Amino acid sequence: MGQLRQWFSERWSALLLQAYRRPLGFLLVLIVLPLLLIAVVTYQVNTSVWRAQTLHNLRVTARLGAEIIGETLDESSRFTEMLAADPGLTDAIRHHDTAQLSHRLKEALAFAKHLDVAMVLTPTGSVLAASSDEPGLIGQDMSQQDAFLGAQQSGWQPYISAVYLLEQPQLEKVVGIIVPIVEQKQLLGWLQVQHRVERIKSWIQKLRVEPAGFLYVVDHHDQLVVFPFQVLPGRPKVVSDWAPVAAPVTEDGTTLVFRDAKSGARWLSGIHPVGTIGWRVVAVQPERAAFQTLYQVFGTLGVLLLIVLVLTTFVSLRWAKLHALSQHLLRQNAKLLKQFQQQRTLDRTRPSDPPKGEPHP
């Protein structure tokens, strides 16, 4: 045990001596490298936690948007089903009383401000009556629109359509909700209500993804329903190749980190389905923007670390200079001591001088 203690003491003394002779390396290992290691580990841990929290916030935002859209569409669907079951409406259809149909549709929409247009269609898809007085609407063929086609494919059940382009009476994108009007198991026609895309956009416009993110909505045909930068008219854009649209999503939603195909920048996203209709709401945020506050904090820490490095270098250089002066002084003292010892040796070996007045032998 004593030998081990002696060996450790010798090694420690040698290490301190080496550190004293190399002050820059000593301070680098003692101060700078631990600070760098702590900074790197802290950065990695904080970015991981920050990313997870940002993804969670994006998923919550997407869920809120999906709930708002889903509840509003469900409300519109229930309202349409109630209106389709109105005996007065079915009676007017049987008698082909278009004036009475239009009157009832206008009265109904006065209580449903979130709906834009209501129409009664014939079993073959032609407009029989409408709440709107737009010219050219009555008699228009709707059989090739997604709402009518989707209702056919679903077995003549109530159906919420994908977004489609309505060319008459004016060019605009709409979403339709269509339900059958049935009396004694006989199909009398269809009741269809429409939401303009701008109306749907207004439902979620209060939701914000700060500092630089946004929300968009995709239907079950992977078409953009709502997109903040979609300003040009035309047919709905299909975005099946977008990563958040192509990603599988569960009923609880999911998160995704992906790279932009053009810029290569990393994006964070939260995705949530809209009920069971196949739509999804996506909240996205550039990772750089999401980490902006974190980068500012670590930028400040980096400046402080640089100041510590400069101060350490300055102290090390001063220490090195002091060490060099000490070594120079030690060498001079050693040289003087050696000269003094040599002189004493010469003095001892040299024969002593005889007294004055006595001849040498």
Q: Across the strands, what pairs with 255?
A: 270
For tokens 């209702």, the residue is 151
Tokens 């056919």 found at:
152
Amino acid at 213: G
pTM of the model: 0.75
pLDDT (tens digit, 9 = 90+) per residue, 257-276? 999 988 889 999 999 999 99
Gap between the Cα atoms of 3 and 21, Å rounded: 27
Domains in the chain (CATH in brackets) are 54-72+200-292 (3.30.450.20), 73-196 (3.30.450.20)
Q: Name the E strands within the chain.
A: 117-121, 127-130, 159-166, 172-183, 186-196, 214-218, 224-226, 254-259, 266-274, 279-286
Q: Contact 271/249 with Cβ under 8 angstroms?
A: yes
Distance CA 54, CA 210 (A): 10
Q: What is the tens place of the pLDDT at every residue in 108-152?
A: 888 888 888 899 999 999 999 998 887 778 888 888 888 899 888
- Find the angle CA(317)-CA(333)-CA(347) to the nearest 5 degrees: 170
Distance CA 197, CA 225 (A): 7
- pLDDT tens per residue, range 212-245: 899 999 999 999 999 988 655 678 899 999 999 9
